[in-house]
Amino acid sequence: MVHVCSPVGGARVTEAGGAQARLWAGSDNSQEAESLILVDEADREVGYMSKARCHEGRGILHRAFSLLIFNDRGELLLQRRSAAKRLWPHYWSNSCCSHPRRAEGMETAIHRRLYEELGLACPLQFVFKFQYHAQFDDVGAENELCSVFIGRSNGRVRVDDNEISDWRWVSPEGLGDEMRGAGAERFTPWFTMEWERIWRDHRPAVQAL
C-alpha cells in the first residue's frame, strides 16, 4: 500500500501501513464532527462539511492553515503527530496545522489552535497560500487550500498529548539535512512542500522575526 502526495510541483510516493484505519476507528473521534469550510480554488466559501467527511476518499477541498514557530536562536519547532491521528500518525510535521471552523475567521483560528496544541501565544505573519492533495492509503486524504504563517516564541511549550506525541526544536540547516537524507519520509507531505518554499522564497521574513 502507498500514500501519494500530488502538489503543484510534482509527486511523491512512500510506504504506509493499512492497519491505521483500524487504529483510528477505535480512537476518540469527537473532533471529526467539527464543521469545516469548503472552498473553491480561489478560496471562496462554497459550503460546509464535517471534518471526517472532508478527509474521506480523495478528500474535499477545504480551508486550512499551517504555522511555523521559530525561537530566538532561529530554530523551528516541530511536532510529531499522535498515534491516534487518522492521517500520517507518528510523522514529524510543522509546529501546528489545523482548520478554521465554520463561521470562524482565520485570525481567530490560528491563535486558538496555537494555544490549544502548544500552549503558545505570539504574533503570526502570513507568508503564502497553496493548494495540495495528499493521499494516505485507503484511510483518506488531505485536500486543502492552506494558508501558511510564521511566528517567533520563546515561551514554554505545553503540548496537547491527544494531538502530539513528541516535539523538538531544529535548526534550518539540520532540518535540511534530515529532509535530504534517509529520514526524509518521516515528514508529512504538506510540511515538506511548505518548508522548501519557506526557505527558498521567504528566508528573509523568517530571519527578520
- Cα-based distances in Å from 94 to 28, 98, 104, 110, 145: 23, 11, 22, 14, 16
Q: Which of these, 81, 86, 82, lies nearest to 24 by C-alpha position?
A: 86
Whether 134 contacts 189, CB under 8 Å: yes
Catalytic residue among 5, 97, 117, 163: 97
Per DSSP, helices labelled H in 50-202 are 51-54, 106-118, 172-180, 189-201
Helix (H, G, I), strand (E, B) or coil at 4: strand
- Contact residues for 130 (Cβ-Cβ < 8 A; gap 6+): 7, 8, 145, 146, 148, 193, 194, 197
Please give the biggest Cα pair distance in the chain. 45
Catalytic residue among 142, 144, 163, 194: 144
Active site residue 144: yes
Active site residue 117: no
Q: Take residue 76 and report the three cell numbers written for it.
A: 523551528
Residue positions annotated with a catalytic role: 97, 144
